[in-house]
Structure 1
Amino acid sequence: RGQYFIRVGSTKQQPTTAELARLFQQRRLVAADEAPVYAGDIDDLDLTAINRYLLRLAQSELTVDDSQLLLRELINTGIMVETADGIFPTLAGILTFGKLPQRFFPSSEIRASAFIASSFDSDVIDQKDIQGQLPDMIRGAISFVTRNIKNSSTIPDGIQRVDRLEYPIEAIREAIINAIAHRDYLISGAAIRLFIFDDRIELYSPGGLPNTITLETMKYKQFSRNQTLVSFLTGLGFMERRGKGILRMINLMREYNLPPPRFELIEEELLVAFYSSIKLVSRKRCYVKRCQNVGGHNNEVIHARNPKIRGKARKSSYRRC
């Protein structure tokens, strides 16, 4: 197998998988998500997950009893690629169908945190590093958001109870999928970051806008940094190829009587922020604080948002209602 080296100062070193893929992309030898993952092989792929994908496309399952035909089928789908050094999984193949994607790309995760108030220095009430195959990450991130945003109930007709989440979850889902599909996976050490505050949600995606896309034109132009990966997510039912995801987010927020999402480029990250302007009585995000020696009573249970008590609490921990 051939070896590759990059110059670091006065020395030559072997590049990481991400560095090598980025080098190929910069020289336009291969699209980023089609780059070979030289450290992987067919045993690192989840063939059961691939078969589920093929069945969704109404295609035949993999021919597992013929190794050569199996490799050819995986190459034809873009899950593997043939190079002068052999046949290897692609970046998109590992991320979507790999048994352990983070083994090869440790930062291909979502680092999620929920805060009790509206600033980073407020107490963290929930946090999780969401990993796995991309479909699992999408579901995990949506689950994290759903359990950490407010929920209210009304009975508009006096009979049937209607629950309403603080945000339209489909808009948040669209943003999460877009971040996973379009982020730059070749930025070393950069994960998607998801923050939930009591008045907003912030989602940071590594990588600037690709090609000629700007913040002003991204609503209307279709773009994809990772076309093979987008193809996989489309086949799995997570995306559509119409390029209307951002407009859909805006419309969903408008239908919810909420401000449109804010988009901002911060160095090599794209920020999408959703703001809540409706005061809801929280059921799902109801946290209490167990405090010691407050008002002379040990283990007194106090609502975490009570400003008169929070500053007095010592040796405390949060729990859900």
Structure 2
Amino acid sequence: MSVGPDELKQYLRGEDERVEWKQSSKDASGILQAVCALANDLGDTHKPGYLLIGVDKNGSVVGVDTRGAKLDEEQRILANRLHSLNLSPTPSFDIQVLEYEGKSVFIVRVEPYPVPPIVTVDTVSWVRHGSTTYRAKEADTQRLRERRPEKSHPFDFRPRAGAGLADLNISELTGRYEAAKEGVDQLEDYPTLESWLSQVQLGARVQGTWTPNPTTLLLFGLNPQSFFPGAAVEFVRYAGTEIDAPVVWRKTATGTIPQQLEALWAQMSVHIVAVPGAAEGIRSPFVPEYPLEALKELARNMVQHRQYEGTNAPGRVEWFDDRIEFSNPGGPFGRASEGEFGSQSDYRNPTLTDWLVQLGYVEHLGRGVRLVRRFLEKNGNPKLEVELNGFTRVIVRRRA
């Protein structure tokens, strides 16, 4: 719904919980923080928020400073900024350009996000109280999380009873905490380590004790398998094409999910064999039996989307002479179960996925299986095969 001049006059009377002014569209960090705060809707107003760009701190319309750029180009830059991964998850918004007193004003209408998850800017949540936008305190994030009953949270987000800071690699988490503090002007207002861990959705206080969630234990735990015995991947190499063939190599990848992925990628790299391809003149190039990038993507897919709750079954990579089978507990989740396998994306473990993206192990683009199909086609492998029966089994056939 468009904002007219009369409504704009109302928003120019003063900033409040649902209205904020910014003088310049060049204020990238300030704009992201403002949209984040309006989306989080700390006051639970259920009303849209309005960010007015081209209005100074006194409420005077100064207009959008395009500095030589066209107005529509400046609007496109703003939209791209709000769609970037810096703001996650992306709230619903629209941008309107309104001419007022001969000057252009950008009006960003932001719908309240159905938190949790809490909207963040570079993993930091921002909220608005009165006419002030500020970094969310632990009490603020707790207030936002309480909007959803605990049992309704995804499994990877719920605090894990019996776990604590002693179960985590504190040195690694402290390093990330200190890195996040760099560039902060008012360190006296910066949250404590426990409060910061809560803000970045790695746990919460339960009856006065800070408690990590499964995401934290799986990514930064000292021994994740003590809490989730099935959170491992078995790698087996058979000398044959049937399940009763002799086992020539076996390794169980344990530890954190990043450690498991590194171990799996190393094993797959070692076992790939290059075979002669089609002759190119006097050259006879060698081509791998399997494209490594496809195998690495399927390994990512296993640990990212598998079911961790209610099962002690591990993931498995079974390497036969003619194929490789990837299997893990749980079928495709939500919309991912619709259509051809991999054509739709959804996340059984959304917090885990967000952190794997931050750590650089997965993308957040929903294109993994489609990329696998492309890699296999380019390498000359048969089409991907998928079997779903409570487990997800993906079969990659050897290049002929």
TM-score (norm. length: structure 1)? 0.70
| SS of aligned partner of 1:274 | strand
| SS of aligned partner of 1:270 | strand
- Partner residue in 2 for 1:149: 272
For 1:34-76, what per-residue CA distance to the aligned partner results, in whole angstroms no more than 9, with x for missing partners?
Answer: 1212121112111333356668xx7337xxxxxx811001111
| SS of aligned partner of 2:336 | coil
Q: Which amino acid aligns with 1:271?
A: R
- Partner residue in 2 for 1:6: none
Q: Distance in 2 between matches of 1:123 and 1:217?
A: 35
Q: Distance in 2 between matches of 1:28 and 1:43?
A: 25
- Partner residue in 2 for 1:87: 210
Task: Pick one of 71, 93, 96 that aligns with 2:194.
Answer: 71
Displacement of 1:248 in angstroms is 0.3
Q: Distance in 1 between matches of 2:397 and 2:274?
A: 15
TM-score (norm. length: structure 2)? 0.56
**Structure with greater contact order relative to length (CA < 8 Å, sep ≥ 6):** 1
Displacement of 1:174 in angstroms is 0.6
Structure 2 gap ranges (5+): 1-147, 183-190
Task: Pick one of 85, 99, 107 that aligns with 2:230.
Answer: 107
Q: Distance in 2 between matches of 1:53 and 1:257?
A: 43
Q: Distance in 2 between matches of 1:244 and 1:78?
A: 25
For 1:194-252, what per-residue CA distance to the aligned partner results, in whole angstroms no more than 9, with x for missing partners?
Answer: 10001100010101221243263443212110011001110111111110001000000
Answering whether residue 259 of structure 2 is matched by residue 129 of structure 1, we say no
Task: Pick one of 356, 369, 372 that aligns with 1:233.
Answer: 356
- Partner residue in 1 for 2:25: none
For 1:159-179, what per-residue CA distance to the aligned partner results, in whole angstroms no more than 9, with x for missing partners?
Answer: 9x9654321111111111011
Q: Distance in 1 between matches of 2:321 and 2:167?
A: 40
Change (3 A) 1:247 1:46: same
| SS of aligned partner of 2:316 | strand
Task: Pick one of 162, 165, 185 that aligns with 1:42.
Answer: 165
Answering whether residue 191 of structure 2 is matched by residue 60 of structure 1, we say no
| SS of aligned partner of 2:248 | strand
Answering whether residue 373 of structure 2 is matched by residue 275 of structure 1, we say no
For 1:148-192, what per-residue CA distance to the aligned partner results, in whole angstroms no more than 9, with x for missing partners?
Answer: 232347896879x96543211111111110110010101322110
Q: Distance in 1 between matches of 2:166 and 2:334?
A: 35
Q: Distance in 1 between matches of 2:151 and 2:169?
A: 29
- Partner residue in 1 for 2:308: 185
Q: Which amino acid aligns with 2:193?
A: L
Task: Pick one of 243, 262, 266 that aligns with 2:385.
Answer: 262
- Partner residue in 2 for 1:304: none
Displacement of 1:28 in angstroms is 4.4
Q: Distance in 1 between matches of 2:243 and 2:346?
A: 32
Answering whether residue 337 of structure 2 is matched by residue 214 of structure 1, we say yes
Q: Distance in 1 between matches of 2:149 and 2:250?
A: 35
Change (3 A) 1:156 1:141: same
- Partner residue in 2 for 1:284: none
- Tell me if the contact between 1:102 and 1:108 (Cα under 8 Å) persists in the aligned partners: yes
- Tell me if the contact between 1:42 and 1:89 (Cα under 8 Å) persists in the aligned partners: yes
Flag the structure with larger Rg.
2
Output the aligned Cα RMSD: 2.9
Q: Distance in 2 between matches of 1:215 and 1:167?
A: 28
Change (3 A) 1:152 1:217: closer
- Tell me if the contact between 2:379 and 2:399 (Cα under 8 Å) persists in the aligned partners: no
Change (3 A) 1:209 1:85: farther
- Partner residue in 1 for 2:293: 170
Displacement of 1:193 in angstroms is 1.0
- Partner residue in 2 for 1:316: none
Q: Distance in 2 between matches of 1:31 and 1:183?
A: 13
| SS of aligned partner of 1:34 | coil
Change (3 A) 1:52 1:85: closer
- Tell me if the contact between 1:37 and 1:89 (Cα under 8 Å) persists in the aligned partners: yes
Task: Pick one of 82, 85, 96 that aligns with 2:219.
Answer: 96
